[in-house]
Amino acid sequence: MPTYDYFCPSNNQKVEVMHSIHDKLETWGELCQLAQIDRGDTPTDAPVRRMLGVPRLMVPASNNDYKNAGFTKLVKRDRGVYENVTAKDGEDPIIYR
């Protein structure tokens, strides 16, 4: 399910919630109920608006990032010879194909 950020101009609060793409939240009361937070002094009928958000992407930066995520990275060293740069300790890093 996607995550959305909502902003309430009445209290200047930003709240992050997960809900279906088809759901439309229009009031502070609906937002608080879905987020399971206390509405505080803000009226339940106070309008909220959905904010534009940037998708969260993880791009591995190093060979260790690939290794920790469970991926294998092979680097071609020669014809039919590859080095597993994410090999675990004690594992042969050279692969012949």
Domain ranges of the chain: 3-51, 63-96
Model pLDDT for residues 2-61, shown as the tens digit of each residue: 899 999 999 999 999 999 999 999 999 999 999 999 999 999 999 999 998 777 777 778
Pairwise CA distance, residues 58 & 51, whole Å: 22
Q: Are 25 and 31 in contact, with CB atoms under 8 Å apart?
A: yes
pLDDT band at 81 (very low <50, low <70, confident <90, very high): very high
Please tell me the predicted confidence (pLDDT) of residue 32: 97
Please tell me the predicted confidence (pLDDT) of residue 55: 74
